[in-house]
């Protein structure tokens, strides 16, 4: 028969092993949870920027007098423009065709396909409505689908023109990586003309590629400047699937791909996608 001392020693070893195992599991689960809870930031930023860019394309196409897009023309100025603009003034339709082959634009993104704008009046006219849709439109092999309705709401108390935007967009990610989609409302305010810069506020609901639904509210206006491939500034409060809140912070106005997500007392660095 084993001695009491031997049995106690063996029990101690098993207890320590069990504690180590549980700690390892807890750390692994925590890491997995953190990855899941902050990974949405890249998807949200990608959809936000692609959606806003499509609106800017529509803006430029409407106001263009030379058939060119001032921001989205071919990167090399000696080459032909990426897009062909066709205006049907009778029916109020503008088609921006990037062609069937990827074209490198000034913002560093490759585009192909069509952005289609139906309009009821001048872009800068109070009350005008522009509805934007897509036909086989891709940005860096990610397909943007859906629609957005842009209504000119006049000027705010600071004399700045602003638009109310209803969004129902999706991105079919390249390489069968899934679909991210959202329904959202936005107020888009023109804050500067040199360079053209917009301030974005609002909220909505985002469905991630893995099917998880997240609600969000812009808590500090997003700053989007033409010519920058990323959102430069602003914060978004996101309610995650577990009911907790995370803060997505785009920074302080520098044009770069860096952002942070603060969740559960920790701040994580993320790199934004194009």
Pick from 120, 114, 151, 152: nearest CA to 133: 114
- pTM higher than 0.85: no
Give 81's contacts (C-beta < 8 A, 6+ positions apart): 67, 68, 69, 73, 74
* In the predicted structure, residue 247 carries a pLDDT above the cut 80: yes
* Cis check: omega of the bond before 66, within 30 degrees of 0: no
Instruction: Find how far residue 183's CA is from the centre of its chain.
Output: 12
| 94-116 mean pLDDT | 90
The CA distance from 208 to 39, in Å, is 10
Q: pLDDT digit string (tens) for 135-165?
A: 999 999 999 999 999 999 999 999 999 999 9
Q: pLDDT digit string (tens) for 32-67?
A: 344 455 778 888 888 898 888 888 888 888 877 666
Give 42's contacts (C-beta < 8 A, 6+ positions apart): 270, 271, 272, 273
Pick from 59, 40, 36: nearest CA to 48: 40
- Whole-number pLDDT of residue 172: 97
Contact between residue 200 and residue 190 where contact means Cβ atoms under 8 Å apart? no
| 66-81 mean pLDDT | 52
Q: Where are the beta strands (DSSP E) in the chain?
A: 84-88, 93-97, 103-104, 110-119, 129-139, 142-155, 161-172, 179-193, 196-207, 213-225, 233-239, 245-252, 258-263, 266-271
| 188-213 mean pLDDT | 93
The CA distance from 94 to 20, in Å, is 64
| 87-91 mean pLDDT | 91
| 113-120 mean pLDDT | 95
The CA distance from 192 to 244, in Å, is 36
- Whole-number pLDDT of residue 219: 98
| 69-95 mean pLDDT | 70
* In the predicted structure, residue 124 carries a pLDDT above the cut 90: no
> Could you tell me the end-to-end alpha-carbon distance of the chain, in angstroms, rounded to an integer?
70
* In the predicted structure, residue 18 carries a pLDDT above the cut 80: no
């Amino acid at each position: 028969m084993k001695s009491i001392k031997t049995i106690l020693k063996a029990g101690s070893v098993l207890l320590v092993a069990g504690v180590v195992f549980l700690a390892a599991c807890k750390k692994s689960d925590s890491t997995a949870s953190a990855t899941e809870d902050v990974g949405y930031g890249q998807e949200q930023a990608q959809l936000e920027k692609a959606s806003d860019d499509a609106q800017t394309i529509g803006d430029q196409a409407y106001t263009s007098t030379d058939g060119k897009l001032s921001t989205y023309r071919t990167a090399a100025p000696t080459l032909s423009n990426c897009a062909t603009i066709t205006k049907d003034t009778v029916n109020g339709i503008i088609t921006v065709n990037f062609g069937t082959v990827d074209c490198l634009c000034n913002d560093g993104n490759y585009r192909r396909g069509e952005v289609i704008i139906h309009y009821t009046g001048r872009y800068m006219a109070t009350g005008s409505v522009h509805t934007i849709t897509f036909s086989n439109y891709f940005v860096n092999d990610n397909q943007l689908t859906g629609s957005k309705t842009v209504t000119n709401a006049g000027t705010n108390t600071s004399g700045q023109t602003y638009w109310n935007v209803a969004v129902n967009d999706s991105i079919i990610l390249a390489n069968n990586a899934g679909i991210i989609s959202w329904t959202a409302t936005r107020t888009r305010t023109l804050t500067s003309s040199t360079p053209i810069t917009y301030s974005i506020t609002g909220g909505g609901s985002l469905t991630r590629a893995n099917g998880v639904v997240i609600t969000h509210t812009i808590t500090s206006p997003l700053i989007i400047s033409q010519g920058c491939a990323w959102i430069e500034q602003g914060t978004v409060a996101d309610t995650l699937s577990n009911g907790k809140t995370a803060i997505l912070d785009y920074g302080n106005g520098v044009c770069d791909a860096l952002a942070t997500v603060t969740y559960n007392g920790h701040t994580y660095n993320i790199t934004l996608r194009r």
